[in-house]
């Protein structure tokens, strides 16, 4: 029996992506809530995992099905209703006050910022993924000597109407990269090498450490000027060296950004939530979320949220869904956060560690107040 | 109050070892449930730890003692009954449907596959520890140039009647080893070096990285041909650099095996269960268990099992005891698994995250269905 | 409903620091329970975190305030009563039987061993921080050739009336340092280099790996002779590379100390409590605590204590507050330990994993018996 009321205030989702506007068949739907490049082993299903359970439990009723309808029934009903109707239902039911949307991943198959805003009927802002910008720069034609300048120009331009920048350095070089700014001549040389590789392979993918560092520091500079937070992917992902994505490996860069007064928002953090939480205690500029982790841990999401509260400062915890492709993932991120946070705080209350008033302050801080403050959305 | 019935279905123990058939005195018994090379500090006892508690709690009654009989009483009664009777009682009470037995460790003091099958009155199959095979090859006489071929021949021969192969690369070079196959000339050179060392020291122990890699890839090749899973020791052990046994450090090899369609079963995984669980999401071929960990965490084993369910796909979790030497460890591995899994799923049920039907599917998958599928034991 | 009585026995605090004897204003008080070098972000407060909650909850009543008085009220009342009265109240209420005090940090602003003993009205002993001794040696004038000898002499002298030594190698070189003893000529060379740096910078801070190793092994030698435990800072801190402070990275040195029969007490350990616990199983000489972590996790401190019981031997777990500066932190360390340990054991009891008698044995072991044994305080 809970002593706290349900958490029904609007949430500011500070890190998310667009949804797919088109219909998805059974196979496509499953692939959209998997982090694997391959389908599950023959004879098994993506529904048979924690995230599959909570889709069936919480999403089925919004499509007029019984809770725990089968995966097959679920996808059939989803097709019957059509993606547009489904997406509208989930996005509206999520209870968001605003969405901050990373537009740098698979942007050709998912909705953009304006479309997401319309779908969810709330304001939305763009978060610019800096590695995608660097890749755009070389795609649009530049020589080695001109790369750094063009990158800077493009980042400035792309961030004009944005609200924050984001780096996925963890994916590209891992956090075990030299975290200082490279010298100009190093950047020219690395850009030359990269351009040659692109010419040879036909593929554009930023993975060179020097280019990564140049991109990171160019972005940091803009964050400093614009008072933008820098979002930093941390921990779990679809193709990462997990051990090298512990955010405590990124301490040197974090410290440098502290000197520059740039807020660093560490995203996801699993399975390094304890490390991330502790960094909020040490560094003035560190913020954390557990986006995507709530969804992938489903029935265990309450434990995840409890862990994020373990040592982190309450003024440093943010809410995000990190939803992508499926509007279900937005809705679930919201629902599981509300259930899990309430349960965690209710335990504290019953153990005598908390008052109702403190519970409210913590909930409001995480739900929107911390994000409004650091993303300059107050007043 | 539990809403789920007790889990009383037979378990397929996919990774275990033989038991000691002879009587053990107080000191020997304690040493058999310790991972230390040394006795506990003077004035202390192995019984005074989580595993000691659950031996006294759950095993004492099977020897006709009260629960929580003292360690001294326990060992005295064990000697009174005799090892044969004791082993029979525990192995029969464990409720196994089949045992997959690693025969490559201390094989001269413990029972073999046939004897274990007879003792437990269920079928048993052999899992071949590949490092032990490589050591046998050099023991039986081979020159540097002939090593690779002899290793391959011996592995083929040893795996003829086996069901899987197993590597303890974590113990020997840790996962921080180059994970590619070595070149032929590198293997010849490394074998020459190793043979010289053996001649000088009189000791045969595979620890050279090149020999380890050659052994691993020779084994992988057989697994590919025979559709064998490759079991991989991961995490805690008696003499490991724990930080270097995080299974996410073995990602490159895992990915290569995914291309070859070889299932990788990550064993134990403590304290990296979250990492291991996440790998089941990313890689089609990854499976996990928490063998031995249930026993060593005793009263906390429920938390361990809950953690294994946190992000892992239910079709990728396996049951094992990783019991060794003491038949008590078989029995406890089974009992603690049954209690812990029931409790974890019961919490999900009461929180509204699960149906009884889903609970049954998860239990059956972990208890035997996943193992039957990947070890080709269906039908 | 708890089945175990409250834990009201005296506690031997095996690792702690002195308190500040002077009054602290609102800003100073907050800074004293923060591990950051900077104040919290504008508009936020140190009280708005787990440790802030438990100060308001448990400490306010001892200053005659209501539980959960605001931070402002709390500090005002604290000033009203005066530091001396406040410190006496908390130190007496903590229920300690003895304090082991690290004197090597900020020793000019906090009370010394004798003063702390008087304040708490219990015996106190000194623990000598070896890095501070090495820094004292060079401050008091020594040449490169004489450094090693002078260090040894000073360590012997400083440890004469002490009870143990302590190293903060994790802070200075991290555990990713060569863990063998350096050669004499290496030490001379490194000392020369260090002295030159000091001359140039005017600052004395031990951070050279060779000097660190020399200091560590000189200390180890004394521990061996005197049968002293060596306390080892491990895990979280105010300025650490967290990922490099996993105690399992210090395995080589731990193993060497096992050969010398020197107990190693791993302090704090967060977020590596599982790793530390497992090391108690493997190595005869390893002991752990979760000092400071109880305080910084506040409402979650019960989980921390449960984790310390997960795989560690009960005869290897120690109690400490690691309190520093604020007498509140002593009191809280004690209170949270008592609540958390009782709750953890009560769960085991209710799950049928424990008897009352075993609970008592575990409590007494952790509360004082293990510490008395290894610090030679018996009889």
- With CA atoms as reference, the chain B residue closest to A41 would be B284
- Which chains reach chain B with 3 or more Cβ–Cβ distances below 8 angstroms? A, C
What residues of B are in contact with residue A36 (Cβ under 8 Å)?
281-284
Distance between CA atoms of residues C54 and C333, nearest Å: 10
pLDDT at residue number A2: 76
Reported as a pLDDT band with limits 50, 70 and 90, residue C3 is confident
pLDDT at residue number C302: 98
**Chain A 232-271, residues with CB within 8 Å of chain B CB atoms:** 236, 238-239, 241-243, 270-271
Distance from CA of A223 to the nearest CA of B (A): 32
CB contact under 8 A, B248 and A238: no
Average pLDDT over residues C235-242: 89
* pTM score: 0.97
Reported as a pLDDT band with limits 50, 70 and 90, residue C1 is low
Distance from CA of A278 to the nearest CA of C (A): 8
pLDDT at residue number A379: 67
Residue C379 pLDDT > 90: no
What residues of B are in contact with residue C373 (Cβ under 8 Å)?
41, 43
What residues of C are in contact with residue A235 (Cβ under 8 Å)?
none
Reported as a pLDDT band with limits 50, 70 and 90, residue A45 is very high
Shortest CA distance to B359 belongs to which of B309, B302, B294?
B309
**Tokens of residue A280, six digits:** 């909020």
**Chain A 14-43, residues with CB within 8 Å of chain B CB atoms:** 34-36, 38-41, 43
Q: What's the pLDDT tens digit per position in A245-299?
A: 999 999 999 999 999 999 999 999 999 999 999 999 999 999 999 999 999 999 9
pLDDT at residue number A195: 97
Q: What's the pLDDT tens digit per position in A164-192?
A: 999 999 999 999 999 999 999 999 999 99
- With CA atoms as reference, the chain A residue closest to C293 would be A311
Distances, alpha carbon A228 to alpha carbons A128, A161, A379, C285, C320, in Å:
11, 12, 17, 50, 42
pLDDT at residue number A104: 87
Distance between CA atoms of residues C289 and A273, nearest Å: 21
Average pLDDT over residues C171-176: 96
Contacts of A222 (CB under 8 A, 6+ apart): A155, A156, A159, A165, A228
Q: What's the pLDDT tens digit per position in A209-230?
A: 999 999 999 999 999 999 999 9
Average of per-residue pLDDT values in chain C: 97
The CA-based angle B297-B302-B303, given to 5 degrees, is: 80
DSSP one-letter string for A187-228: HHHHHHHHHHHHHHH-------HHHHHHHHHHHHHHHHHHT-
Distance from CA of C174 to the nearest CA of B (A): 14
DSSP secondary structure code for residue B346 in this structure: H
Contact A324, A110 (CB under 8 A): yes
Distance between CA atoms of residues A268 and A284, nearest Å: 19
Residue C46 pLDDT > 80: yes
Q: What's the pLDDT tens digit per position in C105-123?
A: 887 889 999 999 999 999 9
Reported as a pLDDT band with limits 50, 70 and 90, residue B379 is low
Residue C182 pLDDT > 70: yes
**Tokens of residue A14, six digits:** 């500070």
Reported as a pLDDT band with limits 50, 70 and 90, residue B1 is low
Distance between CA atoms of residues B375 and B166, nearest Å: 13
Asked if B304 has any chain A CB less than 8 Å from its own CB, the reply is no
Distance between CA atoms of residues A177 and A217, nearest Å: 13
Query: How many CA within 13 A on the CB side of residue B162?
Result: 31
Average pLDDT over residues C310-325: 98
Tell me whether strands A286-288 and B11-16 are parallel, antiparallel or unpaired. Answer: unpaired
Residue B250 pLDDT > 70: yes
Contact C141, C207 (CB under 8 A): no
Can you name the residues that pair with B165 across neighbouring β-strands?
A: B128, B230
What residues of A are in contact with residue C236 (Cβ under 8 Å)?
278
Residue C272 pLDDT > 70: yes
ipTM of the complex: 0.97
Can you name the residues that pair with B288 across neighbouring β-strands?
A: B266, B317
Average pLDDT over residues C328-343: 98
Alpha helices in chain A (DSSP H): 26-31, 50-54, 71-81, 83-93, 113-120, 130-139, 147-159, 169-172, 184-201, 209-226, 251-259, 273-282, 293-297, 301-308, 327-350, 356-364, 370-374
Of C35, C46, C299, the CB nearest to A282: C35
% of chain A exceeding 90 in pLDDT: 96
CB contact under 8 A, A353 and C35: no
Average pLDDT over residues A39-47: 95
Q: What's the pLDDT tens digit per position in C184-229?
A: 999 999 999 999 999 999 999 999 999 999 999 999 999 999 999 9
Of C249, C278, C358, the CB nearest to B53: C358
Residue A24 Cα to chain centre, angstroms: 23
What residues of C are in contact with residue B41 (Cβ under 8 Å)?
284-285, 315, 373
Contacts of A153 (CB under 8 A, 6+ apart): none
Reported as a pLDDT band with limits 50, 70 and 90, residue C378 is confident
pLDDT at residue number A1: 60
DSSP one-letter string for A135-149: HHHHHT---GGGHHH
% of chain C exceeding 90 in pLDDT: 96
Can you name the residues that pair with C166 across neighbouring β-strands?
A: C129, C231
Q: Which residue in A30, A45, A242, A342 has the most chain B C-beta atoms within 10 A of its own C-beta, making it the best mutation to test that interface?
A: A242
């Amino acid at each position: 029996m809970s002593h706290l009321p349900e958490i029904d205030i609007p949430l500011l989702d500070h890190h998310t992506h667009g949804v797919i506007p088109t219909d998805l068949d059974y196979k496509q739907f499953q692939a959209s809530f998997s982090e694997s490049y391959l389908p599950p082993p023959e004879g098994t299903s993506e529904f048979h995992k924690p995230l599959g359970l909570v889709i069936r439990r919480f999403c089925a009723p919004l499509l007029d099905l019984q809770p725990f309808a089968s995966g097959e029934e679920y996808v059939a009903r989803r097709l019957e209703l059509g993606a547009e109707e489904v997406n509208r239902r989930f996005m509206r039911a999520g209870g968001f006050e605003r969405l901050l949307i990373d537009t740098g991943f698979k942007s050709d198959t998912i909705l953009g910022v304006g479309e997401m805003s319309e779908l969810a009927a709330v304001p939305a802002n763009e978060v610019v993924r800096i590695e995608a910008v660097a890749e755009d720069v070389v795609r649009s034609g530049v020589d080695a000597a001109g790369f750094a300048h063009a990158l800077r120009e493009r980042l400035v331009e792309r961030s004009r109407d944005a609200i924050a920048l984001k780096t996925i350095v963890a994916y590209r070089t891992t956090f075990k990269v030299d975290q200082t700014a490279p010298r100009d001549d190093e950047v020219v040389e690395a850009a030359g090498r990269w351009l040659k590789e692109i010419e040879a392979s036909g593929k554009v993918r930023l993975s060179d450490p020097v280019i990564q560092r140049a991109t990171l520091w160019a972005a940091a500079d803009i964050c400093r000027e614009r008072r933008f937070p820098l979002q930093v992917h941390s921990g779990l992902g679809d193709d990462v060296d997990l051990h090298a994505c512990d955010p405590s490996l990124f301490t040197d860069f974090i410290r440098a950004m502290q000197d520059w007064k740039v807020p660093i928002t560490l995203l996801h953090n699993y399975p390094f939530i304890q490390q991330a939480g502790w960094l909020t205690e040490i560094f003035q500029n560190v913020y954390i979320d557990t986006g995507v982790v709530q969804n992938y841990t489903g029935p265990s999401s309450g434990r995840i949220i409890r862990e994020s509260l373990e040592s982190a400062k309450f003024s440093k915890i943010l809410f995000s869904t990190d939803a992508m492709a499926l509007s279900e993932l937005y809705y679930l991120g919201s629902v599981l956060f509300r259930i899990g946070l309430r349960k965690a705080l209710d335990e504290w209350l019953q153990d005598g560690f908390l008052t109702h008033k403190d519970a409210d302050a913590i909930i409001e801080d995480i739900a929107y107040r911390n994000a409004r403050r650091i993303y300059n959305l107050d007043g």
